[in-house]
């Protein structure tokens, strides 16, 4: 039984890990299979985090926090938690590999996810003109008219970044003035490439294979008009990722975890929450880090109150913990856990080690291959691409006899990317007999990608 399990990463989860590790609690951090590092993995320059006067890239900041946590003894696993039981004195969590772990305390750093427009055509054009990550996909919209939906700091930051690539950027906002901070708003207003569609909302997205334009609706008059943008970036806020704890810890009407301020205690003893999953007001990296610190201190005090301050060896058997883990596993039809320590080396989130192909070698290596081929369209600067690296390598190892796996850098090989309509990365194309037989866009859990591959190649 572990002392502390942290579900989630980002500035909150990694800070909690740093403090818990330095306290000798040897926490396990479930950073997420494709969401490790949280929202900052999809940002560019972070100018307001203390200690970085020249700014720092969001992914770099998260990698430094992860390294600092690991330096003090935290174990970071790039896995998702699929189920939890937090109600008893002994907490249990189930991983996406069907492993059940138990702990005396759990810290929830679940973060949030992108809020979507909610119109039918949004899903159809996701990855084909509609994006939620300017850092990932802005490169593909060079010299095009780009639209950004939203009025807060995130929307303005995305618009400013996208102006590096687009011929023009139009910010679409439901109101007649921005909600962003004054300095961010003024930056957008002063930018020569940024225009505004005030009192407007997206009514429809048009196109065939990819987006070719938008219909806007006036929020005051109801009148509609067309916008000739070929890229749409949605930045209208976030929703807390609390589905996994629904019905166990208390949530407010908006779905955020309720804590006993100024502590991070939730409605369940031994369960603490921090970061964006509790904060719908400030939503800053520094405030998330602060609550992560508080959560680790609260967890430590909880363990002291249990009069069990000595951290047990990781994986060591405990009769009560093992009984709970076995019961949970049997109830869910999962493999019954054994008490021996189990290592789960997941490596760091980095690009796949699959062989690289180029524009010049694509035909010979992919189209002329006698095996089906999975092609990972990626780029070095793309955080989700790097996060998918270990997953791609696992698939290559497991399906090596029936599937060839390669990667192609979209920056260095624009012709192949253009020929296959790549406008969002990562994109995973599946080829068989020289033909494109399947495609998956964006970061995906391993099981989803394997399912798509098997369907495409008829396995």
Q: Which residues are catalytic?
A: 133, 136-137
Taking the C-alpha atoms of residue 371 and residue 384, their distance in angstroms, rounded to an integer, is 27
Q: Using the structure block, give the residue that is written with the tokens 């109830």.
A: 331
Contact 374, 453 (CB under 8 A): yes
Give the number of other CB atoms < 10 A from CB of residue 56.
17
Both tokens of residue 130? Answer: 């509609």
Taking the C-alpha atoms of residue 379 and residue 391, their distance in angstroms, rounded to an integer, is 16
Taking the C-alpha atoms of residue 321 and residue 255, their distance in angstroms, rounded to an integer, is 30
Strand 28-30 versus strand 168-172 pairing type: unpaired
Query: In terms of C-beta density within 10 A (0-12 exposed, 13-18 middle, 19 or more buried), how is residue 82 classed?
Result: middle
Secondary structure in 3-state letters for 355-403: CECCCCCHHHHHHCCCCCEEEEEECCCCHHHHHHHHHHHHHHHHCCCCC
């Amino acid at each position: 039984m572990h002392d502390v399990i942290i579900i989630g990463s980002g500035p909150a989860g990694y800070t909690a890990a740093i403090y818990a590790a330095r306290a000798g609690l040897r926490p396990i951090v479930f950073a997420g299979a494709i969401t490790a590092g949280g929202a900052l993995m999809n940002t560019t320059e972070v100018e307001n985090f203390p200690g970085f006067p020249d700014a720092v890239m969001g992914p770099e900041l998260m990698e430094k926090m992860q390294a600092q946590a690991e330096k003090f003894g935290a174990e970071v696993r790039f896995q998702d938690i699929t189920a939890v039981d937090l109600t008893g004195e002994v907490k249990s969590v189930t991983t996406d590999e069907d492993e059940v772990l138990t702990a005396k305390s759990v810290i929830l750093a679940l973060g949030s996810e992108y809020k979507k427009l909610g119109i039918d055509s949004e899903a159809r054009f996701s990855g084909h003109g509609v994006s939620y990550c300017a850092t990932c996909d802005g490169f593909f919209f060079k010299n095009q008219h780009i639209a950004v939906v939203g009025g807060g700091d995130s929307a303005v930051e995305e618009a400013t970044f996208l102006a590096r690539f687009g011929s023009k950027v139009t910010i679409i906002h439901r109101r007649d003035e921005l909600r962003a901070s004054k300095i961010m708003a003024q930056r957008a207003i002063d930018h020569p490439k940024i225009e505004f569609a005030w009192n407007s909302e997206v009514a429809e997205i048009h196109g065939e294979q990819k987006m070719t334009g938008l219909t806007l609706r006036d929020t005051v008059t109801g009148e509609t008009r067309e916008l000739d943008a070929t890229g749409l970036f949605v930045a209208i806020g976030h929703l807390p990722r609390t589905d996994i704890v629904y019905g166990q810890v208390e949530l407010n009407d908006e779905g955020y975890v309720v804590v006993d301020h100024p502590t991070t205690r939730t409605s369940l003893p031994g369960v603490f929450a921090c970061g964006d999953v509790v904060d719908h007001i400030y939503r800053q990296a520094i405030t998330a880090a602060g609550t992560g610190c508080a959560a680790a201190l609260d967890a430590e005090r909880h363990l002291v109150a249990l009069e069990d301050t000595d951290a047990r060896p990781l994986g060591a058997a405990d009769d009560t913990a093992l009984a709970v883990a076995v019961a949970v596993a049997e109830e869910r039809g999962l493999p019954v856990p054994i008490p021996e320590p189990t290592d789960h080396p997941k490596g760091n989130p980095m690009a796949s080690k699959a062989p690289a192909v180029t524009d010049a070698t694509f035909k010979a290596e992919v189209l002329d291959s006698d095996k089906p081929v999975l092609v990972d369209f990626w780029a070095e600067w793309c955080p989700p691409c790097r996060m998918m690296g270990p997953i791609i390598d696992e698939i290559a190892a497991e399906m090596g006899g029936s599937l060839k796996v390669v990667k192609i850098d979209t920056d260095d090989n624009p012709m192949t990317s253009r020929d296959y309509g790549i406008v969002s990365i990562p994109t995973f194309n599946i080829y068989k007999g020289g033909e494109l037989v399947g495609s998956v866009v964006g970061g995906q859990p391993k099981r989803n990608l394997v399912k798509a591959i098997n369907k495409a190649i008829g396995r």
